[in-house]
Structure 1
Amino acid sequence: MKIHQLRTLVAISDTGSVRNAAKALELSPAAVTKAMRELEAQVGVALIIREASGISLTEAGRALLAHARLMIQQLRRAQDEMDRFSGGGRERLTVALPAWVASALLGGIMKRFEQEMPDTRLVFYESLLSVAVPKLRDGTLDLSVNRSCPPSCRDEFQQVPLFLVSYAVVGRAGHPLAKCRTLPQLKGATWVLNRDFTENDAEGDGPFGEYFRRYKPRVHVAHSSSMMIGLICNTDVLSIMPWPLAELLVAKEGLCVLPVTETIPEVEVNLMYRRATPLSAAAKVFIQSLKDTILDEANADDPMSRRVFHAVECVLSQP
């Protein structure tokens, strides 16, 4: 398999047609078609299905696509590293962070990082486990900070424990359910969450899992903290969020935390990266900047730092 063939497969998957893939790759449609035919001949199976509505991937095509994305990202990382040595380009590092980590810690991390890697371009994503794991797997992400991944994929990723975090039920100030103390009192509530609470998802979430299974409330899903916060501030939806984010929003947005006695079990928040992928110089510096900032802020006198670290347990080992 050749890299241009794998790039062609990825482009067809992303654009849905040979013509659009050709535009994306700045090639002719004939060149794209030739590359795909050569790739299919080499692997011995059909990879794409041509339909009136466009092109879709076969099961074999989808399996190869995951490897293709990773190989292309690895090649990009290797080129970035060589460009750094030659002075011919700017290295790039992609990182996913939870909203509360970005709000509380990213400024300090950036100051440290830029002192050592001033020419590296950082690309940030919001860290949601359902999004972060696939992006780590296909090489889109270099590093991610999020809750522990499921046991089924722990062999793939190195995980460095950072925090233990508990969760709060949050609504707008003056919410009609603001004084509710038990989950059954919230049986008629509408929620906005950053993940689906299917039965399997909810099994490990204690009383909240039982609540969602029993009462089956209406749940909207927002894969963006800013969208979720906007809904909470302007409607009567409730949400479940990490205590440090709740602390920040109570102070900044005037939200309220409901005094619900049932709790979601604490979750471990980890730094994650692929075990099989060598860390770049930029990744190593970012990891150290993250660790140093956490340890500094955990002992800081700043009111915001005290508010955030009062809401989490730092489990990062001292250097």
Structure 2
Amino acid sequence: MKELPKIHQLKNLRAIIQYGSIRAASQAMHQTQPAMTRSIQELEKILGVSLLIRGVRGAVLTEVGRTFEPRMNMVLNELEWAVDELQHASQGSVTFGCSHLPAFGVIPAVIKTFQQRYTTARITVVEGQLSELLASLRIGRMDFFVGVISPDISLHDFIEEHLAVARFCVIARKEHPLINCTSLRQLRGAKWYLPRASAGYFSDMEKLIFPYGKDPTCSGLFGDSTTVAEQLILNEDYLFVGPQAMLTIPHLKDILRQIPIKEKIPNGSYSLIYRQQQTLTPIAGLLINEIRAAYIELMAREVK
């Protein structure tokens, strides 16, 4: 290849993919539509392929374009991360994902201590299940993830560090009308708040908790917000499938209880994952070390 694509051409293509048309992308990027079109034509000429199919309803990627997109995103994200690191070298920034147990228990305490030590650190936490955040991890929008890992999700391009195994159970406020139920059959008509997941541990949770089917009165909500979960459980009598460790969290231990059903909820395996080809920023490495130490301390307490 005699000439490599220019950064502005790649960013324009990414904008068209994001906004669905050259017109919308040019407005978002503060360019004229002819200038945006010209940059894409120059990019296609450099690559020697057609990347977009233009129609009256917008622009869509060709088959070759769909192949090119993830590699392009990886290049742009790595470059943007590198520039960001240089611009914030004195303070550092880290973005990571976590599922509900870390968000409820371990992570808040770690972040509090970490920010007291590194006062200029810029930390962004994205709450969710691995299946929902994996794409962001793969293209470098996140440094790492802490949460439930499942063999259903391929992690061949990641480094995985096992952190803990957690026992799961059905959780409710201690005055819930169904608090003394002993079988999932008795919970068929309850209201449930369940983690949202397209694959992995939580993807088949509905089948697991409704082996006898649902009553017509049963309702369910799906999401990844610990704040919403807490409010629904405490104020609206929703049930929740979560780790038993939630029942030991100081502000929850006196108001939540485990419903003593006879059916066993599978354990959850918690891990730390990050991309094999990724060089972690210094601040991300320091935060990971703090998370590792917190889980080691947690496991030591549980053994005692």
| TM-score normalized by the length of structure 1 | 0.78
Which residue of structure 1 aligns with residue 110 of structure 2? Answer: 109
Which residue of structure 2 aligns with residue 136 of structure 1? Answer: 137
CA-atom RMSD in angstroms:
3.3
Which residue of structure 2 aligns with residue 64 of structure 1? Answer: 68
Length, aligned pairs only: 297
Query: Higher helix fraction: Structure 1 or Structure 2?
Result: 1
| Mapping for residues 205-284 of structure 1, pairs under 5 Å | 209-212=207-210, 214-215=212-213, 218-248=219-249, 251=252, 254-284=255-285
5+ residue gaps, structure 2: none
Q: Structure 1 pair 220/268, CA: closer, same or farther in 2 (3 Å)?
A: same
| Alignment deviations for residues 5-60 of structure 1 (CA, whole Å, 9 cap, x no partner) | 22122222223332332243333322222222233344455433445444444454
Once the two structures are TM-superposed, the CA of residue 143 in structure 1 deviates from its matched residue by 1.1
5+ residue gaps, structure 1: 300-308, 315-319
Q: Structure 1 pair 224/112, CA: closer, same or farther in 2 (3 Å)?
A: closer
| Mapping for residues 287-302 of structure 1, pairs under 5 Å | 287-296=288-297
Which residue of structure 2 aligns with residue 9 of structure 1? Answer: 13
* Contact 1:250 1:256 (8 Å CA) reproduced: no
How many percent of aligned residue pairs carry the same amino acid?
29
Which residue of structure 2 aligns with residue 19 of structure 1? Answer: 23
Once the two structures are TM-superposed, the CA of residue 117 in structure 1 deviates from its matched residue by 4.7
Once the two structures are TM-superposed, the CA of residue 113 in structure 1 deviates from its matched residue by 3.8
* Contact 1:95 1:125 (8 Å CA) reproduced: yes
Q: Structure 1 pair 202/20, CA: closer, same or farther in 2 (3 Å)?
A: closer
Q: Structure 1 pair 253/127, CA: closer, same or farther in 2 (3 Å)?
A: farther
Alpha-carbon distance in 1 for matches of 2:111, 2:125: 12
Alpha-carbon distance in 2 for matches of 1:290, 1:276: 21
| Alignment deviations for residues 155-185 of structure 1 (CA, whole Å, 9 cap, x no partner) | 1111111111121212344333222111122
Once the two structures are TM-superposed, the CA of residue 275 in structure 1 deviates from its matched residue by 0.7
Alpha-carbon distance in 2 for matches of 1:249, 1:131: 29
Alpha-carbon distance in 1 for matches of 2:49, 2:117: 48
Q: Structure 1 pair 83/48, CA: closer, same or farther in 2 (3 Å)?
A: same
| Alignment deviations for residues 184-208 of structure 1 (CA, whole Å, 9 cap, x no partner) | 22223332211258999666x7xx7
Is 1:75 the counterpart of 2:79? The answer is: yes
